[in-house]
Amino acid sequence: MRWRKHTNQIIGFLVVLPSILLIAVFVYGFIGRALWASLTDWGKDPSQALALNPVTRFIGLQNYRELFTGFIDGRFRQDMVSTIFFTVFFLAGCLLFGLLLAILIDHKPRGEALFRGIFLFPFALSFVVTGTIWRWLLQPGGGVNALPTLVGLRPATFDWLTSRHQVWRFDWNDLPVIIGLLAALTLAAVAVVARRAQRRRRAVGFALASAAVLGLAVGVAPGWRPLPFPELHGFNLAFIGIIIAAVWQMAGYTMALYLAGLTGIPEELREAAVVEGANDWQLYTRIILPLMAPITLSAMIVLGHISLKIFDLVFAMAGPDNAWTDVPALLMFITTFRGNQFAKGAAIGIILLVLVAMIIVPYLRSQLRKGVRE
Amino acid sequence: MNRPGSFFLAAALASLFVTAPARAQDKLEIFSWWAGDEGPALKALIDLYSKKYPGIQVINSTVTGGSGVNARAVLKTRMLGGDPPDSFQVHAGQELIGTWVVANRMEDLSDLFKSEGWTAQFPKGLIALLSARNGIWSVPVNIHRSNVMWYVPANLKKWGVSPPKTVDEFLATCKTLQGKGVQHPLALGENWTYNHLWESVALGVLGPEDWTALWTGKLKFNDPKAVKVWATFAQVLEFANPDASGLSWQQATDRMLKGDAAFNVMGDWAAGYMATTLKLKPGEGFGWEASPGTGGVFMMLSDSFGLPKGVKHREAALKWLRELGSKEGQDTFNPLKGSIAARLDSDLSKYNAYLQSAAKDWKTSKVVGSLAHGAVAPEAFASQFGTVMEIFLASKNAEAAANAAQAIADQVGLGK
């Protein structure tokens, strides 16, 4: 019996070995390669940029420093701001519409299966197709802007993707203060939640941390200015069209996630609530939504990493050169393959990887821990 | 395990790797961005080649995208991966020299130029642009002019204006046109056409000597003279359509033809589009003039083909280059493409009225190189110039744009 168990283990190992090797080389190997490239001067000297065996020198974090504080890299900083705004609105839109659609279908209207199919269908398209369709719809002289003329009104005049307006502008130099205030606010919120949950020591700890960060943000951060000149960034209105297209595509997917969750809620719970005299509103806000929290988290993870890495949708909708709809992934492509700045392109790639990891890793850890407990 | 089955699988897999290079000797892969409207001209060249060398199979690898924006990215991944196409299209000048020649990836074609007698057939100024490091690096197929302003003669007559000759005249004419109900007298397209317009304005403001001095590093971008370019550019943009970035260059030209706009500054491939695709008669359906303030100057760009080191079919590629530089090849390609031959001895009877006038200008004008189309600045500068343009469009601050341009020029070592 013993050798039998052994061979099973060996066979098991052999079966997964190719995939371990492939992932080690083609995922982690290349991440390491990109990280190394981002710490060199590859591309700064044109005679080495595209040589057959480029000679590069190690220059530490200089590429990263240039991206965040360099004179000519303002486009990268605007892209970072844009991607944060895009992520927030995209997540909010998908979760809101996904939940609404799921609740509608959960009420089992007539033709429920048909509607489910219709709502889910955009998810089956590729981002390039979605982007092309919406590019046509959002042309300033037609499409969506011409809709009001159907009912005899004047055509709308919003520029959509060609808009050059920016709102909610702030100086990049104020960023340390803004981040500090946001961190303090988050910590304070955690403290309030802990207080409500009757965990006093935790609440006091977080309240103190919040106060300390607040002190840093107000006392120290204003003295630290990354740039020697003011540089305004904000939310580009041209992104509204891209957010609409992205939500249109992914809301159906979010709906499917919520539907799976809703069908998983035992009927007894609902019946019990109704017997206790809860109306529909109370049923959803007090019983069902709290039970949906894990689904919401999963949806945020999946959607969040899509939005940080978004490339094809923007490329198809607005092209790679429209700086008003630029995102870091596009800039990485342009910097690398047009400007021949391979090291700087790699640095942008690594920054994106870190951002995505900040979302994924805590999730994976919590999932793994749960798995072990079960 | 099923032995015969796995044997067949292995054999099938192996055959995949073996059959591919078996007939390697009689192929030629050419890499370009000529598709769509420009496709027929390339096809005529390939047909000519196939007639001459029926044994060689031509693989036409085209990557679409105006001005080669996408093709160049694909080319880089192929070159970095050690899989160069046998010959690739590239803008003559710094786009080739600053990227591929300095990286030691191209073969010197000086001997080919000598044996074919091309050093005498092409103008001296063009040879100088193709040369660097004691070599000549690509074969120019055509010459395009960047600084052309297009209009519809009948429309201008209707509005009672004549084509402006100087920048000031242009601004005054546009003002008049706005008074006559032409909201946006200047038709403009997506992002690279801004850079294209900029170089015509800059040439008009600076003149040919100072324009050339910008690229040799003798005139700084933040010199008051160069700052004035941006200020004038802002005035010109006042008359352009605000939805420009959603339009291709063809759509922008269409606006001018439809009478929604009076003028369109675009390279003379627009003549090919209007004459070949839209079947308009040069001089009647559309008219042209050097862009304001640039009369007597020919801002040129040229499509050329080079020979990368380590290609699979070198002999076939050399035959291709010989055809490109020949009189027959150039006179086959250019009338269809809507450009003029780089050679001085081309048969002008094959060309339409616009091209004949351009060929005359090519021989008599002062020649300078284009920024937006890769002649005067290396790619590292040209691609970041887009960022400068965005800084300017966002802030309309001439001083800031000029400083950013100079910062990039310093970073890439322009003129060194």
Which tens digits make up the pLDDT trace of B20-74? Answer: 444 445 899 999 998 877 788 899 999 999 999 988 999 999 888 767 778 888 9
Residues of chain B contacting A46 with CB distance shorter than 8 Å? 98-99, 102-103, 378, 380, 412-413
Mutate which: A44, A50, A165, vs B, most B CBs within 10 A: A50
| Residue B245 at interface with chain A, using a CB cutoff of 8 Å | yes
Residues of chain B contacting A49 with CB distance shorter than 8 Å? 99, 103, 380
Give me the interface pTM, i.e. the ipTM: 0.79
Whole-angstrom CA distances from B209 to A134, B216, B224, B361 are 46, 11, 16, 18
Task: Give the pLDDT band of residue A273 (cuts 50, 70, 90).
Answer: confident
What mean pLDDT, rounded, does chain A reach? 88
Cβ <8 Å between A52 and B394: no
| Residue A142 at interface with chain B, using a CB cutoff of 8 Å | no
pLDDT at B239: 95
Rg (CA), chain A: 25
pLDDT at A147: 87
pTM of the predicted model, to two decimals?
A: 0.83
| Residue B128 at interface with chain A, using a CB cutoff of 8 Å | no
What mean pLDDT, rounded, does chain B reach? 88
* Candidate from B69, B80, B103 with C-beta closest to A47: B103
For β-strands B340-341 and B142-145, DSSP reports them as antiparallel
Percent of residues, chain A, with pLDDT higher than 70:
98
User: What digits encode the pLDDT tens for the residues A38-86?
Assistant: 999 998 888 888 888 888 899 999 999 999 988 888 889 999 999 999 9
* Candidate from B103, B383, B393 with C-beta closest to A50: B103
Do A246 and A307 meet the contact criterion of CB atoms below 8 Å apart? yes
pLDDT at B21: 45
User: What digits encode the pLDDT tens for the residues B291-349?
Assistant: 999 999 999 999 999 999 989 999 999 999 999 999 999 999 998 888 899 988 888 88
Check pLDDT > 90 for residue B132.
no
pLDDT at B66: 67
- By C-alpha distance, the chain B residue nearest A137 is B246
DSSP collapsed to 3 states, B292-339: CCCCCEEEEECEEEECECCCCCHHHHHHHHHHHHCHHHHHHHHHHHCC
pLDDT at B25: 55
Residue B231 burial (10 A CB sphere; 0-12, 13-18, 19+): middle
pLDDT at B18: 47
Check pLDDT > 60 for residue A249.
yes
User: What digits encode the pLDDT tens for the residues A9-38?
Assistant: 899 999 999 999 999 999 999 999 999 999
**Dihedral sign from CA coordinates of A253, A255, A261, A266:** negative
- By C-alpha distance, the chain A residue nearest B416 is A46
User: What digits encode the pLDDT tens for the residues A275-290?
Assistant: 888 888 888 888 888 8
| Residue A320 at interface with chain B, using a CB cutoff of 8 Å | yes
- What is the pLDDT averaged over residues B346-369? 89
Edge to edge, what strands does the sheet with B340-341 contain? B340-341, B142-145, B297-301, B366-369
| Residue A163 at interface with chain B, using a CB cutoff of 8 Å | no
What burial letters (b/e) apply to A163-183, b meaning 16+ CB within 10 Å?
A: bbebeeeeebbebbbeebbeb
- By C-alpha distance, the chain B residue nearest A55 is B103
Cβ <8 Å between A46 and B380: yes
- Distance (Å) from the alpha carbon of A63 to chain B's nearest alpha carbon: 13
| Residue A17 at interface with chain B, using a CB cutoff of 8 Å | no
Residues of chain B contacting A159 with CB distance shorter than 8 Å? 242-243
- What is the pLDDT averaged over residues A177-183? 90
Residue ranges of alpha helices (H) inside chain A are 2-23, 30-38, 46-49, 62-69, 74-106, 112-124, 127-137, 175-196, 200-219, 239-263, 267-275, 280-282, 289-291, 293-308, 312-318, 328-337, 342-373
pLDDT at B20: 46
Q: Which of A113-117, B124-128, B199-203, B330-334 has the lowest mean pLDDT?
A: B124-128
| Residue B231 at interface with chain A, using a CB cutoff of 8 Å | no
* Candidate from A140, A323, A340 with C-beta closest to B379: A340
pLDDT at A38: 95
Cβ <8 Å between B76 and A162: no
Q: Which residue has the higher pLDDT, A343 or A141?
A: A343
Task: Give the pLDDT band of residue B87 (cuts 50, 70, 90).
Answer: very high
pLDDT at A1: 53
Check pLDDT > 90 for residue B289.
yes
Cβ <8 Å between A50 and B246: no
pLDDT at A157: 81
